[in-house]
Structure formats: structure tokens, C-alpha cells
Amino acid sequence: MGKTIGDIGEFGLIEFIRDRLGEQGLIVDVGDDAAVVATNPGDFVVATVDDIVQDVHFTLDYPPRSVGWRAIASSSSDIAAMGGKARFFLISLVAPEETTFSWFRRFLSGATDFARRFNLALVGGNISNGDSIRVSTTTLGTIPPGHIKRRCGAKVGDIIYLTGAIGGSQAGRIIFSETKNPRLRLAKRHLFPVPRLVEGKILGAVFAVSAMIDISDGFLQDLGHILTNSDVGAYIDIDDIPLFPGVDRFCRERGLEPIEFALSSGEEYELIFTAEEKYASGIEEEIGEEKVIPIGEIVAKKGIFAKRGGKLIKFPQAGWRHF
Amino acid sequence: MGKTIGDIGEFGLIEFIRDRLGEQGLIVDVGDDAAVVATNPGDFVVATVDDIVQDVHFTLDYPPRSVGWRAIASSSSDIAAMGGKARFFLISLVAPEETTFSWFRRFLSGATDFARRFNLALVGGNISNGDSIRVSTTTLGTIPPGHIKRRCGAKVGDIIYLTGAIGGSQAGRIIFSETKNPRLRLAKRHLFPVPRLVEGKILGAVFAVSAMIDISDGFLQDLGHILTNSDVGAYIDIDDIPLFPGVDRFCRERGLEPIEFALSSGEEYELIFTAEEKYASGIEEEIGEEKVIPIGEIVAKKGIFAKRGGKLIKFPQAGWRHF
């Protein structure tokens, strides 16, 4: 058995974290009462918090790096979904004192690897004793006032776009729980998701984007938030829903319907956004053609509809619920 | 049995919270992916996170209002200790779905009562299922660059000041655990602490204040952070340490030494700050004479010293440790 975090102690852990801090815009770091960061004058501050809880969002079988990575992926995705630039994060870790230092070290690597890749700075945190592991991550971003993309704003006739293929995260979760093999392509999609931080920020600057959200609870549920807040409905082209590679086969092997599976898969972190069709080519130039996938249209009739076998069906707004 | 938070569901709870949001400076509220807030151009952003964990910082015997109050009191105190103005907070709650809605409602009242009293706005949050209750609170503040008060900066010859009497929080914790009576004066001091948010912000603007920290882990330990970071030591006038009313009697009844007890009492949220003696009257004019209590002096020799019975003693830097 290696050292535990109880052996290292709170101040030892803080020293360890301090050596791994980001620096951009950081004025006062974790050694003090609070972090102080600089933002651009005129920009608003975007703030969000998300939790990853042991035995709810992960188990101790998970690579610790994945827990750290997902903690920050999830909350920084929310900043992108507003059209903002994720810049700083604070991590609050509750863990039993028997937690190994090795687990802690790899957990922190996961968070800082993500931060390095996307240019975020870890600026603060807290460590408390508790009976199981819970990670709460607050991400702060900045946004010029005119760039804010809300859930309301979608208008009848707008096209609904997706930034990428879905279904992989949920399939990966199941495959990882069966195989415990973190190297499988689908498992990786679940363990180390790549939210659309760059694309979200660019789409924030595109005036034509009328509403935006990230897929955290599942496509149907998250699109549902746009529809409810915009007081509209949606018609979905089933055949246009892009499936993550391997999801089709994964579903057929298990007797699941691939599209239905993908439409309720959570933690995908692709963005759903709406815009008038005439702006599509302009948006494609900004973020790349392959990331502007039209999958439906905003309609006046409330609900989410699609045609299947020549018949109009209505989807339930199903997805991940936290209770 | 009343309704549980599982009965109300995540979206019901979010609606409930939404009705209780602060509004100052809030551009986009909890219904969206992230909160968007406005800050003053030129100000830095101060950010900190703190946790309150069931069976570590509170038990289910505690008034739920106290849990909400303390969650925000603790992290906003850190903003004041930097010299900043606490403005916004996000609450992340992990709780079992059997938690009663009545507990949740009163918990949230505690947080919003605190926020109303000190002009903070609740701007976001998250709710997750988990096997016990944990509250993680992020507080955001603003600070003009020149107002930042760090732990480093104390100079030999500076006087050490306290903003108020100590010992009450720890005595209150013990008395409440014995009596379960939240109305006793000392119990109140523990259950509903009043951090020095106004004073911290004012002291931030006072150039003469060379270092500042709030007492969260205990006077000796928190003063120790100033000393370590400033590379100095301290001589303490034992007789000048102000005891919270009732602490002296509480200790004598239990055979405890009152000053020693008070010096290691955590969660007091009084501020410790240092400044040259000649500025004392100016500082008194800013925050009131009764809140500028000289209790010692910064010395070159490392450690914390005091005279007792004519003999120089050295204190251990004891206090609350999270592991």
C-alpha cells in the first residue's frame, strides 16, 4: 500500500496542487484565502458548477485521470454552451482520508491535462474529509456581452444543428462497465470526453446563432430545454442524426435501436445550436463544415417530432435525471 | 413524512431556487447552462470554494438553515480576507434523494438569508444524488487591483489586530452538540456566524494594512499562515486576546484554559490583520474602534511567542486540520 492523502495531509496536498497551477491571468494563487484573476474590461463573467459523485457518475474502477478530466470537461462545456471562453477553474474534492495519494495524483493529472489542452488555469480549490469521493468543479469564463447564447431565442424555421456524432458516451459507459478496458475507443469517449470549447466560443461570436446548449443530459432532453425556453417545437430528421463510430454495431449486438439510444445518451458534450439556413455556409467557414450538421427544424407545434416508417411520431423528452 | 427532494425532482428544485435568485449584476440565471454576471471594468475577480460535509462539519441534528448559512458564510469570509467585495455565489448540493423537501427549503433559506443580509446574489448551482449531504459553495467577488491583501506582507514591528472576540464558535459547537438547543447565545455563534464582509472590504482599501486573513482554522494556525508567508514571527499579548462572551465561564466549568481554547477555535471568521501602529487611529475611523483590537506584534524571530507567569512560551501552530 502506498501513502494515503491522510498521510500527506491537507497542506502537503495544497503544496502539491500549487506546483501544478495554471498562470494565465492568475494574480493570487491557492496559497491564499481566495484566488484573484484578471478579466478583460467590458467582458461579463460566466460561472457554472458541476459535480461528479462516486457510485453515481463513476466507480473506483474508473481511471482516476478520467475522474479529474470529466470533472472539468463537464463544467467547462457549460461555459462553451453560453458562447463564452472557459478560463479558470476551482476544484473542491471530498474524499476519505484512506484515499491513496496515487489516486489523488492521477486524478489531478486528469484535470490539469484537460486544462493544458484547452488553456484553462486551475486557480483554487478545497479538500475535505468525507465518506466517499465527490468532486465539485466551478469553471469561470469570460464573454463579451453581445456573445451570450441562451436557451431561448430559437425561432420557427431555424435549422437545428449538431457539432458532432452522438451515442458514444453512453455506449462507452456500458462497454467500460463490462470490460473495465479504458483503451477501447468507445470507452475513451466516455472516460475522456472532448467538449466543444473552441467551437462554442466561436459560435458565441456568430450573430446568426439564435440558441445554443451542450448535450449533458441527452439530445432529446437538452433540445427540449431550448424548445421550452423558446416556446417552440422541433421536427427531427432521424436519418440525419450522426452516430458516433461503433454505436450502430454496439446497439445491434444488444438488440437496441441505435438512434433512440443515441438521442438519450448523456455527457456527449456536443453542442446543439439553431440558426437560419441562409447562414449555414458562413458558420461552416467559422468552425468547419463537418461540425455544422443539420438534423432538423424548429416548428411552431410544441414537442419533438420525427417521421419513422412514413408515420409522424412524437418523442418523449427523455434523458438523464439527477434524481 | 413530507415530500422528499426525489419526489420534487431536479427541475422542480431548480424552479424553486430560481424564484429565490439574487438579481444584482445577474445577466443570465440558473435556468441556463451557466450564470453570466457583470463586474466593474478594471476590477479583478476573486474566487474561492469551500465545503460543508455531513458528519464532518455538521450532523442532521443541525438546523438546516444553519447548514445553508454556514456554507456561504465560510466562502464569502475568504473574499473579505483578501480585501474584496463578495458579490455572487454558486451552491452545489449533493444529497440523498430521501432528503425531505422541508430540509432543502430551510437549507436554502439559510443561504438566501445570509445573501440578503450581505447583498450577495445566488447565481447558480447544481444538485446531485449521493449517499450523504455535502454542500460546496463558490463565492465570487470583485476587487480593485490595489486592494488585494495577501498573507505575505507583514513586517517586523507591525501590530497584529483582531476585528473581534474569539472562542465562541468552538464553545458553541460543543454546547450545541450537548444541548441541541440552537437558541443559546454560544450555539448561535457557531450555527450562524457573521463574517466581517464589510470590514474586510474597507480594510482592503486601507493602504496601511500589510497582511490579512480570516480565522477559519483557528487563530494560531491562521496567524501562522501570515507568519510563514511573510517570513516573520509574532509576539502575542495573552491578556489582550478578546474572549467571546460566555467563553470564559464555558471553559472554567469544563476545566479548560480559556485563552488556549480561544486561540485554536476555528470558524470564528474574525479577521487578523497587520499594520504599523501609527495608522491605528485612521483604521479605527474606518471600521470602528471596537473592531481594531491590538493583540501582539510582528517580530523577526520565527514562531508565535507569549509571556505566561513571567516566562516566554512558544505556541504550537495548532488548529483545525481537514485530515
Q: Does the structure show a pLDDT above 50 at A322? A: no
Asked if A125 and A136 count as a contact pair (C-beta separation under 8 A), the reply is no
Cα distances from A187 to residues A28, A62, A66, A250, B85, in angstroms, run 38, 11, 11, 12, 44
Domain with CATH 3.30.1330.10 in chain B: 5-146
Please give the pLDDT value at position B321: 47
Angle between helices A64-81 and A197-204 (to 10 degrees): 10
Mean of all residue pLDDT scores within chain A: 91
Nearest to A136 among B38, B92, B214 (CB): B92
Closest by alpha carbon to A206, among A284, A270, A152, A119? A284
Q: How does pLDDT run across B162-202, given as a tens digit for each residue?
A: 999 999 999 999 999 999 999 999 999 999 999 999 999 99
Residues in A touching B39 (Cβ below 8 Å): 39, 44-45
Nearest to B90 among A47, A55, A131 (CB): A47
Copy the grid coordinates of residue A95.
474524499
What amino acid is encoded at A141 in this protein?
G
Residues in B touching A97 (Cβ below 8 Å): 323
Q: Does the structure show a pLDDT above 90 at A287? A: yes
Tell me which residue has cell 465518506: A131
Query: In which band, very low, low, confident or very high, does the pLDDT at A321 lie, cut at 50, 70 and 90?
Result: very low
Please give the pLDDT value at position B322: 47
B273 to chain A, closest Cα gap in Å: 13
Give the separation between CA A123 and CA A186, rounded to whole angstroms.
Answer: 32
Is the Cα dihedral A317, A320, B1, B2 positive or negative? negative
Please give the pLDDT value at position A190: 97
B68-92 CB burial, b ≥16 within 10 A, e <16: bbbbbbbbbbbbbbbbbbbbbbbbb
DSSP code, position B286: H
Residues in A touching B151 (Cβ below 8 Å): 31-33
3-state secondary structure of B314: strand
Residues in A touching B229 (Cβ below 8 Å): 31
Give the separation between CA B10 and CA B93, rounded to whole angstroms.
Answer: 11
Give the separation between CA B319 and CA B223, rounded to whole angstroms.
Answer: 11
A66: left (phi over 0), alpha (psi -120 to 50) or beta: alpha
Whether domain A149-315 has CATH 1.10.10.10: the reply is no
Q: Which helix (H) or strand (E) holds B271?
A: strand B271-275
What amino acid is encoded at B7 in this protein?
D
Residue from B149, B203, B323 whose CB has the most chain A CBs within 10 Å, to mutate? B323
Helix locations, B58-167, DSSP H: 64-81, 101-118
Closest by alpha carbon to B104, among B64, B63, B77? B64
Whether domain B150-315 has CATH 3.40.50.1110: the reply is no
Copy the grid coordinates of residue B103.
430540509
Residues in B touching A15 (Cβ below 8 Å): none
Three-class secondary structure assignment of A281-321: HHHHHHHCHHHCEEEEEEECCCCEEEEECCEEEEECCCCCC
Domain with CATH 3.90.650.10 in chain A: 149-315
Q: Does the structure show a pLDDT above 70 at A57? A: yes
Give the separation between CA A2 and CA A103, rounded to whole angstroms.
Answer: 10
Q: Does the structure show a pLDDT above 90 at A215? A: yes
Half-sphere exposure (CA, 13 Å, Cβ side) for B217?
A: 20
* Mean pLDDT (whole number) for A270-288: 96
Q: How does pLDDT run across B41-74, given as a tens digit for each residue?
A: 889 999 999 999 999 999 999 999 999 999 999 9
B47/A31 touch (CB, cutoff 8 Å), yes or no: no
Query: In which band, very low, low, confident or very high, does the pLDDT at A317 lie, cut at 50, 70 and 90?
Result: low
A200 to chain B, closest Cα gap in Å: 12
B:252-281 residues touching chain A, CB 8 A cutoff: none
A172-205 CB burial, b ≥16 within 10 A, e <16: bbbbbeeeeebebebbbbbbbbbbbbebbbbbbe
As for the ipTM of the complex, it is 0.84
3-state secondary structure of B81: helix
Copy the grid coordinates of residue B297.
506584534
B92/A49 touch (CB, cutoff 8 Å), yes or no: yes
Q: Which helix (H) or strand (E) holds A109?
A: helix A101-118
Give the separation between CA A318 and CA A296, rounded to whole angstroms.
Answer: 18
Closest by alpha carbon to B197, among B72, B113, B64, B110? B72
3-state secondary structure of A246: coil
Complete edge-to-edge strand list for the sheet that includes strand B304-308: B209-214, B271-275, B159-162, B293-299, B233-236, B304-308, B311-315
Cα distances from B294 to residues A51, B158, B181, B201, B314, in angstroms, run 43, 10, 34, 20, 19
The lowest-confidence range among A7-16, A181-190, B133-142, B241-250 is A7-16
Give the separation between CA B44 and CA A140, rounded to whole angstroms.
Answer: 13
B297: left (phi over 0), alpha (psi -120 to 50) or beta: beta
Q: How does pLDDT run across B110-123, given as a tens digit for each residue?
A: 999 999 999 998 88
Local mean pLDDT, 10-residue blocks, chain B (323 residues): 82 76 60 79 90 93 97 95 94 92 93 93 86 93 93 96 98 97 97 98 97 95 94 94 97 94 96 97 96 96 86 69 47
Closest by alpha carbon to A120, among A69, A71, A66, A76? A76
* Mean pLDDT (whole number) for A46-52: 92
Please give the pLDDT value at position A1: 58
Asked if A214 and A282 count as a contact pair (C-beta separation under 8 A), the reply is no
Tell me which residue has cell 501602529: B277
Q: Is B59 on the interface with A (CB under 8 A)?
A: no
Please give the pLDDT value at position B22: 60
B311 to chain A, closest Cα gap in Å: 32
Q: How far apart are the first and last CA of chain B?
A: 36
Residues in A touching B88 (Cβ below 8 Å): 47
For residue A303, which phi and psi values (nearest 5 degrees)?
Answer: 120, 175
Whether domain B5-146 has CATH 3.30.1330.10: the reply is yes
Task: Concatenate the DSSP letters of all residues of B23-70 into one string.
Answer: -TTEEE-TTSSSEEE---TTPEEEEEEEEEEBTTTB-TTS-HHHHHHH
Domain with CATH 3.90.650.10 in chain B: 150-315
3-state secondary structure of B308: strand
